[in-house]
Amino acid sequence: MNHFLNLSWALLLFVAHLLVALRALTRPNRTPASRIAWLSVIMLVPLAGMVAYLLLGETSIGQARIQRMRRAEKSIAKPHEGLVAPEAVAPQALPLFDFCHYITGFGVTGGNRITVLRDADAPASEPMRNSLAAIDALVAHIEQASEQVHVAVYIWLDDDKGRQIAQAVAAAAQRGVQCRLMVDSLGSRDFVRSATWKMLACAGVKLHATLSDISHLRHMAFSRVDLRDHRKIMVIDNRIAFCGSQNFASPLFRIKPRFAPWIDMLLRCEGPIVRQMQYLFLSGWIPETGETGLDHLPAQAPENSLPGASTAQVFETGPTARFSAMSDMFVACIYAARKELVITTPYFVPDESMLRAICAAPRRGVKTTIIFPARNDSWLVGNACRSSYMDLLQSGVDVHEYPLGLLHTKSMTIDGELALVGSANMDRRSLELNYENNLLISDKDVTAQILERQMGYLSVSHRVDPEVVRAWPLHRRLTQNFIAMMAPVL
């Protein structure tokens, strides 16, 4: 009898193992590298591999959430203020804006005013001052708000800067401003349990910790448990918006102080682009909270609709976006470069198409520079990143490491004409899993501001020497390459 039971269990496990392996092989929207990596895990550690694949192997947020999102998107009119005709867009930028429109449905807006927030007196050796100035500017605008404060942020810490922002929002709510705050339930897990969170609720602020339910047992069979809302969206009075890499925390980042300070970039935006960010916030808020009556928010006042000269478009992706949309956007931007390409990213685990595009840029005559943090707060990502150094260096890419903290800015400038700035890293999480929002900008003056910040990073960074990389010991290279090989699973 025992022998029969053991045989039955063995047969059941074999069938389950085979079905999971077949699912990994036949699931659509998966790269060959991802299939091979998952198949290796499933075969090498059968039981753990099967469980890992079922929990983490597929990008799904569950049909119920997808239906709520679709209903919300249909209930809000797509913003159409300030759209520009294709002939008014720079020819180099037009294919990029067309791709954005294909993915998001947003049109190209003109007449925007976009500024990189900074401390004008901060030297490159004191980059933390720019982040502090950006937070102070955000707080000042919240203090002047008269109608709405809408915020979606990944990490909100209960530290001095986090509390400074929270106190400004609470004060705004108490004077009658409609305040809605949406934080990621994992990235801000300590904040949602803090006294400051309770203070905000008591002040009348509408609060929500997003994706808090996907790790619940009843959702595990229908959605991936590690999906995150990585967006940074701030909209004030439907008139001013902020976008970039800045979380709501002191640059000293007390949860990982040995990698501090965090070095970020935040853009202040006015004009029609604000409506796209407002739409982006609401299309996330409504399905998460169920709040109704938000589809008739007032349009931007005509006198404020064209405050500047920047052409811009919001580019957002997530688990429900077309597969590889963020990767394709990065690749399209890289191939658009003709003279110069400068990239900063803290987390670099590219897919094959992105790595090949970057390596091809110098061979096309494009001066290509990438700046990474010298020390990464993720040991796995840091090693995966360095596994690509030799490919980059041999292709002629100038690779630099930033030593004054964790360079957290996610930016790309193209020929001094175009820029892409936002929340998305060049790693598998941003490319395939997270909700992300970037801003594509066509404006020489704004791009010059972003490029100036990038050059400030570069001025204090150390150039990576190919000879030093070649001299890395075998065990180090094996570790890096193994981690990179398993990147689709991580």
d(CA 161, CA 137): 12
* Residue among 161, 232, 264, 351 flagged as catalytic: 232
Question: How many Cβ atoms sit within 10 Å of the Cβ of residue 94?
Answer: 16
3-state secondary structure of 184: strand
As a dihedral over the C-alpha atoms of residue 60, residue 61, residue 66, residue 67, rounded to 10 degrees, the angle is: 110
Sign of the C-alpha dihedral, residues 197, 276, 454, 326?
Answer: positive
* Residue among 377, 410, 427, 443 flagged as catalytic: 410
Burial class (CB in 10 A: 0-12, 13-18, 19+), 197: buried
d(CA 165, CA 142): 8
17 is catalytic: no
78 is catalytic: no
d(CA 135, CA 151): 13
237 is catalytic: yes
d(CA 192, CA 176): 23
Helix (H) or strand (E) holding 259: none
d(CA 143, CA 342): 36
DSSP 435: B
Which segments within 189-329 are labelled E, that is strand? Answer: 206-210, 233-236, 240-244, 262-263, 266-270, 310-317
* Residue among 141, 161, 230, 400 flagged as catalytic: 230
* Residue among 184, 237, 377, 443 flagged as catalytic: 237
391 is catalytic: no
* Residue among 101, 206, 415, 444 flagged as catalytic: 415
Runs of H (alpha helix) within 105-194: 128-144, 160-174
Q: Which residues are marked as active site? A: 230, 232, 237, 408, 410, 415
